[in-house]
Structure 1
Amino acid sequence: MNLTKKSPENVKFMIEQITAKLKMVNVSAIDASQYNEDCYEDLHDIYTMVMKRESFSPNEMQAIVEELGNLRN
């Protein structure tokens, strides 16, 4: 998948991968349809950071979820 191109499919893919990596229980709280391509770079930065890490502290997870919430439409 080429994540350098802004597309709704790439946004959906990144959101799904982030929620899976964070092992989020309530994935419906972060719906890919709530994000648009205007926040693509920020979302890609979060995705890249999350995918590089093996584990997260509860505080880090909370901060990531809050930032995802801030990016929503």
Structure 2
Amino acid sequence: MNLSENTLVNTEFMMEEIKTKLRMATGAALKATQLNDEQYVDLKDIYEIVASKSQFSISEIEAITKELGRLRKTQ
């Protein structure tokens, strides 16, 4: 999958992977349709960080969740 392309499929894939890896109960933090081009890059950065780690502290999960929420609020 080429995640360098800003597509709805890529956005949905990254969000699902983030939610799965962080064991997030809901997907309410962000909807794929809410992202513009700049936010896609931010989401990809978050995805790459999450994908690179096997475990997360509570403070890391909180920080990532906060960043996902920030993406939603800037819409």
TM-score normalized with structure 2 length? 0.85
| Cα distance in 2, alignment partners of residues 13 and 20 from structure 1 | 11
2:10 aligns to what? 10
Q: Paired residue for 1:33?
A: 33
2:9 & 2:36 partners in 1: Cα distance? 11
The match for 1:70 is: 70
Question: 2:29 touches 2:65 (CA, 8 Å); kept in 1?
Answer: no
Instruction: Give the unaligned 5+ runs of structure 1.
Output: none
Distance 2:12 2:30 in 1: 10
Q: How many residues align?
A: 73
Structure 1 residue 33, shift from structure 2 partner: 2.9
Quick one: which amino acid aligns to residue 3 of structure 1? L
Q: Which secondary structure does the structure 1 equivalent of 2:50 belong to?
A: helix
Q: Is contact 1:11-1:40 (8 Å) kept? A: yes
Q: Percent identity?
A: 44
Shift of 1:38: 3.1
Deviation per residue, 1:13-35 (Å, 9 max, x gap): 11111001000112234333333
Q: Give the whole-Å Cα distance in 1 for the aligned partners of 2:14 and 2:36.
A: 12
* Structure 1 vs Structure 2 CA RMSD: 1.3
Which residues of structure 2 form unaligned runs of 5+? none
